[in-house]
């Protein structure tokens, strides 16, 4: 079971519409990605809450179809 980068990008943007998403396929096996997500909706939230927003956008795939997603979140610079 795996996911492709476009699918991850689509889900995150559907869940967090203004998100700027950069995805890197770490091993080319569809199971190990790094994602950098920037969104103004992260403002004022802890890192844990920001990451939880991304996991919710991924609708339960995280930890299931998607084994590893090295995640970094950020708020757009003013």
Partner 1 sequence: MSDNPVFDRIRQEIDQNQVVLYMKGTPIFPQCGFSAAVVQVLSELAVKFKGVDVLADPSLRDGIKQFSDWPTVPQLYVKGEFVGGSDIIREMFETGELKQYLEQQGVASAAVDA
Given a contact cutoff of 8 angstroms between Cβ atoms, the answer to whether 38 and 17 are in contact is no
Cβ atoms of 12 and 39 closer than 8 Å: no
| Nearer to partner 1 (CB atom), residue 40 or residue 49 | 49
Q: Least distance (Å) from partner 1 to the CB of residue 63? A: 4
When the beta carbons of 6 and 48 are compared against partner 1, the nearer one is 48
Of the candidates 34, 33, 51, the one whose C-alpha atom is nearest the C-alpha of residue 42 is: 51
Question: In the window 35-74, what residues touch partner 1 (CB under 8 A)?
Answer: 47-48, 51-52, 55, 60, 62-64, 68, 70-72
With CA atoms as reference, report the closest residue to 12 among 67, 63, 68, 52.
52
Question: In whole angstroms, how close is the CB of 43 to partner 1 at the nearest point?
Answer: 18
Q: How far apart are the first and last CA of the chain?
A: 39
Q: Applying CB under 8 A, which residues contact partner 1?
A: 47-48, 51-52, 55, 60, 62-64, 68, 70-72
């Amino acid at each position: 079971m795996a996911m492709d980068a476009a699918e991850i990008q689509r889900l995150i943007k559907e869940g967090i519409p203004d998100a700027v998403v950069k995805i890197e396929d770490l091993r080319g096996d569809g199971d190990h990605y790094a994602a950098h997500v920037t969104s103004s909706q992260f403002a004022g939230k802890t890192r844990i809450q920001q990451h939880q927003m991304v996991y919710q956008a991924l609708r339960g795939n995280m930890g299931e179809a998607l084994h590893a997603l090295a995640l970094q979140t950020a708020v757009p610079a003013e």
